[in-house]
Structure 1
Amino acid sequence: MKRHERMNALLELLGDRGRVDVEEAAAELEVSAATMRRDMDALAEQQLLVRTRGGAVLSSVAYDLPIRYKQGHRSTEKEAVAKAAARLVERGDVVGLSGGTTTTAIARVLATRTDFAEAGPQPDLTIVTNSLNIANELAVRPQIKIVLTGGVAHSRSFELVGPFSELVLQQISIDIAFIGANGVDPVMGATVHDEAEARINRLMAERARRAVVVADSSKIGERCFARVGDADVFDTLITDAAVAEETRREFAERGLKVVAARPSGSD
């Protein structure tokens, strides 16, 4: 793993957990403790984390990290999740996408599907999103109509939140919504770091005929500050195949179907 990829992965670990120690991060990213200390020091100089005795925490201005810092981490698992999610989308659907790296991966898969790319001059897929980076990537795709909610932009997550976002979502109907999460727990359901994002994510799910929470297996079993919902708004969880069978059963017992996607080329 190259240094910039490793530092991106470290930032995502912090985004998920809020705090890591040197030994824990070094083991997770398969580097020496000395290398991890140097990486943490470099990121501290950029004010992306705060060094602590033996580790690091997120800085007060970076509790959630921009998409550009998170692209490379667990990309294989997220691609598997994205492909499984995209298979649920049909031509003519209105698709809701919240912000996040996994939903960004879904957007990219949808953008390159040949059955949409070969559509006529009119858009044959509508995507509703509160994510600035997703809208930016898909705006150049003539086969896709982009509806971007208004709202106040979070500089760290690139998501639009607030009453303007709510106003738009309250006026539309969505066929299927894919909602990303920072943690998905059998009891708490899907959770994120910020209460404003949780509110918009839940509203997007409620406006959909079908709502699916998407998260790679590193998020499973984790709990974050603000609850989005569980089987009260979602019918399916799409994750990767690393999730434990016992955990799948726990979700199923609470009314949530689990799809465990395998990466391309795996057995």
Structure 2
Amino acid sequence: MNRAERLNAVLDLLAETGQLDVDDIITKLDVSAATARRDLDTLASQQLLTRTRGGAIGQSVAYDLPIRYKKEQHAPEKLRIAHAASALVPRGAVIGLCGGTTSTAIATVLGARADIMEASPHSSLTVVTNAINIAAQLAMRPQIKTVVTGGVLHPRSYELVGPYSDIVLDRITMDIAFIGVNGIDPIVGPTVHDEREAAVNSLMAHRASRAIVVADSSKIGHNAFATMGSSKLFNTLITDAGITAEQLAAFAENGVEVIVAT
């Protein structure tokens, strides 16, 4: 395990309970106490956690997240999906992130990558987002250029929605757009509860060379209110190992590549 992988593993352990002791890192990652402390100090300097005597706690934020973030479900699965998404992003890429807990996890993983956080006179990554919590999170990463779409704030999701988003999105292109959803069906495609969020997500997907749906397996086979586009637009899904063989076959039949995060 190299240093970057080890730092991500420390964050994975911290995500499970919100609190971590040096002894936990020593035992679970098979490293020395000095290495464990150095890793915690490194992550603290990147504001990804808060150091305590003998360990660390999850990094608090300067704003109060909506209830959908506080009561996040399937957190381990979403973190694995985030790592799989990050593996598709080369240094220097331009990516889109809509709102939601899975997209927030992707932002966290990208912000911890050693190659992206390496000091450079130029941005190592550009992130276009309509989620103000993601923008605030990435504002602490000077190596990441953060572009925020316009729009009206949706108070339940912290996403900017409405026609003002078109002004920014119509004038940019992206390499990859990662789109979180409330449901995804092999035939209907991805769906969300709010039609305004659907419109922004669809436009973000159209402006990207590759649009990827990120959804844990609990959302497969479910349909929400507003559709966003067919498999011709969203031809890749990143999900977790909970997807069934029948579901995999159904997506393949409809031309959707499925990446299973493990």
TM-score range for the pair, normalised by the shorter chain length: 0.7 to 0.9
Task: State the TM-score, normalized to the length of structure 2.
Answer: 0.73
Name the SS for the 2:85 alignment partner.
Answer: helix
Q: Identity, % of aligned pairs? A: 57
Instruction: Give yes or no for contact 1:66–1:158 (8 Å, CA) kept in 2.
Output: no
Instruction: Give yes or no for contact 1:238–1:260 (8 Å, CA) kept in 2.
Output: yes
**CA deviation profile, 1:177-216 (whole Å, cap 9, x unmatched):** 0000000011111000000100100000000001100000
Return the alpha-carbon distance in structure 1 between the equivalents of residues 106 and 152 of structure 2. Answer: 24
Q: Does residue 1:203 correspond to 2:194, yes or no?
A: no
Partner of 2:241: 241
Q: Does residue 1:212 correspond to 2:189, yes or no?
A: no
Partner of 1:115: 115
- 2:69 aligned partner, one-letter code: R
**CA deviation profile, 1:219-250 (whole Å, cap 9, x unmatched):** 11110000012312112100001100110110
Runs of 4+ in 1 over 3 A off after TM superposition: 65-68
Return the alpha-carbon distance in structure 1 between the equivalents of residues 108 and 68 of structure 2. Answer: 14
**CA deviation profile, 1:4-62 (whole Å, cap 9, x unmatched):** x9xxxxxxxxxxxxxxxxxxxxxxxxxxxxxxxxxxxxxxxxxxxxxxxxxxxxxxxxx
Partner of 2:164: 164
The count of aligned residue pairs is: 198
- What are the equivalent positions in structure 2 for 1:188-199 lying under 5 Å apart? 188-199=188-199
Instruction: Give yes or no for contact 1:116–1:125 (8 Å, CA) kept in 2.
Output: yes
Name the SS for the 2:213 alignment partner.
Answer: strand
Return the alpha-carbon distance in structure 1 between the equivalents of residues 209 and 75 of structure 2. Answer: 29
**CA deviation profile, 1:122-158 (whole Å, cap 9, x unmatched):** 2110000000110010101011000000100000010
Q: Which runs of 5+ in 2 are unaligned?
A: 1-15, 17-65
- What are the equivalent positions in structure 2 for 1:180-195 lying under 5 Å apart? 180-195=180-195
Q: Which runs of 5+ in 1 are unaligned?
A: 6-64, 263-267
Partner of 2:225: 225
Partner of 1:129: 129
Return the alpha-carbon distance in structure 2 between the equivalents of residues 94 and 140 of structure 1. Answer: 18
Task: State the TM-score, normalized to the length of structure 1.
Answer: 0.72
Cα 1:165–1:89 change in 2 (3 A) is same
Return the alpha-carbon distance in structure 2 between the equivalents of residues 225 and 251 of structure 1. Answer: 20
Cα 1:66–1:203 change in 2 (3 A) is farther
Return the alpha-carbon distance in structure 2 between the equivalents of residues 68 and 222 of structure 1. Answer: 20
Name the SS for the 2:228 alignment partner.
Answer: strand
- 1:112 aligned partner, one-letter code: A
Instruction: Give yes or no for contact 2:151–2:164 (8 Å, CA) kept in 1.
Output: yes
Q: Which moved further from structure 2: 230-239 or 172-181? A: 230-239
Q: Does residue 1:96 correspond to 2:100, yes or no?
A: no
Return the alpha-carbon distance in structure 1 between the equivalents of residues 71 and 86 of structure 2. Answer: 21
Instruction: Give yes or no for contact 2:117–2:124 (8 Å, CA) kept in 1.
Output: no
- 1:217 aligned partner, one-letter code: S
Partner of 2:29: none
Instruction: Give yes or no for contact 1:67–1:158 (8 Å, CA) kept in 2.
Output: no
- What are the equivalent positions in structure 2 for 1:130-145 lying under 5 Å apart? 130-145=130-145
Instruction: Give yes or no for contact 1:169–1:204 (8 Å, CA) kept in 2.
Output: yes
Return the alpha-carbon distance in structure 2 between the equivalents of residues 193 and 235 of structure 1. Answer: 21
Q: How far did 1:167 drift? A: 1.4
Instruction: Give yes or no for contact 2:98–2:179 (8 Å, CA) kept in 1.
Output: yes
- What are the equivalent positions in structure 2 for 1:31-110 lying under 5 Å apart? 66-71=67-72, 73-110=73-110
Partner of 2:43: none
**CA deviation profile, 1:87-139 (whole Å, cap 9, x unmatched):** 00001100000000001000000000001111413211000000011001010
Q: Does residue 1:179 correspond to 2:184, yes or no?
A: no
